[in-house]
Structure 1
Amino acid sequence: MDSPNIHILSVRTALPGPPVDNVALAHRLGVGDSWARWAETGVGIRSRHLARDLESGEITHTLADLGEAAAREALAAAGLDAQDVDLLVMGTSMPDMLMPATVNIVADRLGIDGVPSYQVQSGCAGVVQAMEIAVQRLAGGSARTALVLGGDTWVKHFDPSGDIKHLSPAELVSMALAGDGAGCAVLSVEPRPGAAVVRRVRTRLVGGLPPAQTVEWFGAHAGTGAPAVTDDRGAVETQVPVLAAEAWRELLDDVGWKDSDVDAVLPPQHSGRVTERVCELLGVAESSVTSRVEETGNNGNGLLLFQLERALAGLGSGGRVVGLTVEATEWVRGGIAVEVL
C-alpha cells in the first residue's frame, strides 16, 4: 500500500515584541556606532526580536509562550481545533527547562491531551528532525494531523542589560546574531486545495568535524567559569556552505528535480553573511532566495519555519521549495523539499 501524501496545511510564527535594531542594541550594551555597523556589514544582521526587556532585563516571553502563540495561529489558519491534533513534535536547542519538556507545556496550554509528543533537542537541524519524525508517523498511519514546532530563546545565555566587558569575541558575535522566536507547521494526511505536499525530508549526521559552536546548558550565570557560548566563526563560514550544497544535491536527487525546477530556496541562516556564501556556492538567483535572518536574528530552530511561511505565501500551484539546514554544533546537514498542489 502506498504511503499517503503529507500535506502542510499552514505555517505560522511568533516573535517576542518589536524588532531591536543594531543601534538600539549597541546603545543598551554601551558600545559605539562602530559595533552597530559591524553587526550589519560583518555579521549581516539589521535587527532581532528579544524575549528580554532591554531596559529592565526581565524575561518577557518563554519558548512555551512563543510556541503556543505560533501553534494557535497555525491551527486557526488550517481551520482546525486542538482536538484534531494527534501528534506533536518540537525541535529546539534551548527548551525552557530540563523538565517538563516545553512541547508538553505547549500541548497542555492548547488543551491537547492523550496523544504522542516528542521533543528533539538539537541545534538548527532540530526542526527538520522534528519534521522527519512527524512525516514518518503520519505516513505510517499512526497519526493523521501533527503540529511540528521549532524555536529557540537565547535569554538564559545572554543578558543585554548587563556588563559585556567580560564577554569573549565569540559571545559578542552570538549576541549580535541572537534572536528569539518560534514557528509551527500543521501537517496532515488530509488533502486540502492549495496545500503544499512534503516530497522529502532528510537529515544526516556528519562525523569527523570538531564542533564549531557550543552552548553551555546552564547559561551565562551558572558560576562555572565556562563561557556560555563558543563560536568558531571561521569554521561556520567555511563548512556550512559546503554541507548545504551537499544537502541540496541529495534532496534534488531524491525527488528527481533539477536546480532550475526550484522556485524558492531557503538557505541555512547562521548569519546574513553565511547565507550569501551558501547561495553563491549553489549558484541560485537572488530572486529565488527566502531569507529572514537579517530582520529576525538567528532564532535557531524557528528560522526554517519563518522562511517557509513567507515562501509558501508567495507561491501558487506547482511551486517548489527546498529548505536547507546545517547544524554546526556536532554537524548535521539536512533539509526539506515541498511542492504546492
Structure 2
Amino acid sequence: MSVRILSTGAHLPGDPIDNDVLAGYVGPLPQDVLAGIQVQRRHWIADPETGEHSESNADLAHRACASALAAGGVPTDEVDLLVLCTASPDYLLPPMVTLLQDRLGLARCATVEIRSGCAGFVEGLEFARLLLESGAGRTALVVGSETISPLLVPVFRDRDPRLVRMRDRLGLYSFGDGAGAVLLRADGGPGGLRPAAFRCVGGGHAPGMQIVGGGTATPLHRQLAARRLIDLRVDVVQSAKRTPSVITEGLADVLGRAGLAAEAVDVCVLPEGNAEYLTEEMAASGLHTGDWLALQHKVFENLTTVGATGSAAVPIALDEAWRAGRLHAGDEVMLLAVETSKWKYAGTVLTWTAAEFAAPSAGRAAATPVGAR
C-alpha cells in the first residue's frame, strides 16, 4: 500500500502588505537588513490600522482544504482523516482541527492536531502516511495554518512608528499569515511518500523562538499585568547562528532515511532556503557540505512574497510550485523544515504523483489559487 499526493491547496488572506506600507506603521528597516531577510510583502488577517481580523485561522485552513479538494476532484465526504498543524490556534480548546472539521461539513472523521511551527506540517504528513498505510483510512487532508499577525499588530498599533524598537521591527517585517494543505490517498499505485526523518536537537539549548502568554506556566494575574498578554519573542542572533547546523544535520538525516543521494533530488522545498542571511551563514560556518552544494540550486521557496508562515510555509510553497509547473509526475521532491522554537527539523523525500495542475472545470467548485481573496 502506498500513500500518494493527489493535489495541494493554499490560501493567503487579504491584500498583500508591502514593505513601504508596513514602514508607515512600524518604521523602516535598513536596506541591507531588508535584503537579508528577503521578505518584500506578506498577508495578514489583522488589519494594521484597526487590529480587527478579516478571517480566523480555522477559516484559512478551510479555504486551503477546499482548494486541495477542488484541485483533486475529490468530494469532501471521502475524507477519513484530518491532520492539522498550527502554533497559533483559534482557542486552546477545542482543538482547531475540530473547527476545521465543522467548516468542511464532516460529521465524523479522525482528527489530529500537532502544536508546532515550521516542522509540524512534515510531522503531520508522516503521521497521516502511517495511519493510511495501516488501513485505518483511505483519504486524508494534512494542513499547516498560521495567523501570526494578531501577535504583531499590538507591538505598533497606536504608537509612533519611531518608537518601535529595531529588534521588534525584524519580526514585524518577517512574518505572514496563510494556510496550505495536501490531499493524500492510499492506493496500490507507484511512488508517493517515503518515511520521514524528524528530530528535536535543542536539548540543553534555550528556545530560539517563544510565544509567551496565554498558557499555564505563569499565574494569570501576572500575565494580565504584563505589557502584552501574548508576546512573540525571537532570538535573532541565535537563530542565524544555529539554523545552518540544524539544516545540515536535517539534510543528512532525511537523505539517509530516504536512501537517496542529494543529486537524485529534483526539487527541494526548504522555507527560507534562498534567504541571504542563511546562505551567508552557511558559508561562514563552513557548512557548504556536498549535500547542500548539490541541493542549493534546486531550492524552491516563496519567502519574498508571503513572509515566514510557520507550519504553513512548506505546503504553501509546495502548492505554488505545483501550480507554477515546477513539479512533474515522477520528480523526487524533498520537503525540509527547520523550526527555531526548540531547534527541530522534519523532512522527507517523496516521489511526486499529482497530475499536472489544471484549473477545475466549470462543473465543480473552483480551487482557490495562492493569494486569492
TM-score, normalised to structure 2's length?
A: 0.82
Q: Does the residue aligned with 2:196 lie in a helix, a strand or coil? A: strand
CA distance in 2, matches of 1:135, 1:146: 9
Q: Does the residue aligned with 1:157 lie in a helix, a strand or coil? A: helix
**Unpaired stretches in structure 2, ≥5 consecutive residues:** 216-222, 354-373
Matched-pair contact (CA < 8 Å) for 1:8–1:196: no
Number of aligned residue pairs: 332
Q: In structure 2, what is the equivalent of residue 212 of structure 1? A: 208
CA distance in 2, matches of 1:124, 1:222: 29
- Shift in CA distance, 166/157, structure 1 to aligned 2, threshold 3 Å: farther
CA distance in 2, matches of 1:317, 1:279: 32
Q: In structure 2, what is the equivalent of residue 291 of structure 1? A: 301
Q: In structure 2, what is the equivalent of residue 330 of structure 1? A: 342
Q: Does the residue aligned with 1:249 lie in a helix, a strand or coil? A: helix
Q: In structure 2, what is the equivalent of residue 185 of structure 1? A: 182
- Shift in CA distance, 96/332, structure 1 to aligned 2, threshold 3 Å: same
Q: In structure 1, what is the equivalent of residue 172 of structure 2? A: 175
Kindly state the Cα deviation for residue 177 of structure 1 after the two structures are TM-superposed: 0.5
CA distance in 2, matches of 1:270, 1:60: 30
Tell me whether 1:310 sits opposite 2:305 in the alignment.
no
Tell me whether 1:262 sits opposite 2:262 in the alignment.
no
Kindly state the Cα deviation for residue 171 of structure 1 after the two structures are TM-superposed: 2.8
Kindly state the Cα deviation for residue 113 of structure 1 after the two structures are TM-superposed: 2.3
User: AA paired with 1:302?
Assistant: A
Matched-pair contact (CA < 8 Å) for 1:263–1:319: yes
Task: Give the CA RMSD over aligned residues.
Answer: 2.4
Matched-pair contact (CA < 8 Å) for 1:251–1:336: yes
Matched-pair contact (CA < 8 Å) for 1:23–1:36: no
CA distance in 1, matches of 2:111, 2:121: 14
Kindly state the Cα deviation for residue 334 of structure 1 after the two structures are TM-superposed: 1.5
Tell me whether 1:245 sits opposite 2:245 in the alignment.
no
Tell me whether 1:321 sits opposite 2:333 in the alignment.
yes
| Superimposed CA distance per residue, residues 50-102 of structure 1 (whole angstroms, 9 cap, x where no aligned partner) | 11223333111211111000001101111111110011111111101112221
Q: In structure 1, what is the equivalent of residue 197 of structure 2? A: 202
Higher relative contact order structure (alpha carbons within 8 Å, sequence separation ≥ 6) = 2
Q: In structure 2, what is the equivalent of residue 69 of structure 1? A: 63
Matched-pair contact (CA < 8 Å) for 2:60–2:179: yes
CA distance in 2, matches of 1:108, 1:244: 37
CA distance in 1, matches of 2:295, 2:116: 30
- Shift in CA distance, 225/263, structure 1 to aligned 2, threshold 3 Å: same
Kindly state the Cα deviation for residue 237 of structure 1 after the two structures are TM-superposed: 1.2
TM-score, normalised to structure 1's length?
A: 0.89
**Unpaired stretches in structure 1, ≥5 consecutive residues:** none
Give percent identity, aligned residues only.
28
CA distance in 2, matches of 1:235, 1:270: 17
Tell me whether 1:232 sits opposite 2:235 in the alignment.
yes
Q: Does the residue aligned with 1:54 lie in a helix, a strand or coil? A: coil
CA distance in 2, matches of 1:48, 1:36: 18
CA distance in 1, matches of 2:150, 2:15: 19
Q: Does the residue aligned with 1:172 lie in a helix, a strand or coil? A: helix
| Superimposed CA distance per residue, residues 25-68 of structure 1 (whole angstroms, 9 cap, x where no aligned partner) | 10133x24xx2735521322111111122333311121111100
CA distance in 2, matches of 1:127, 1:301: 6
Q: In structure 2, what is the equivalent of residue 126 of structure 1? A: 120
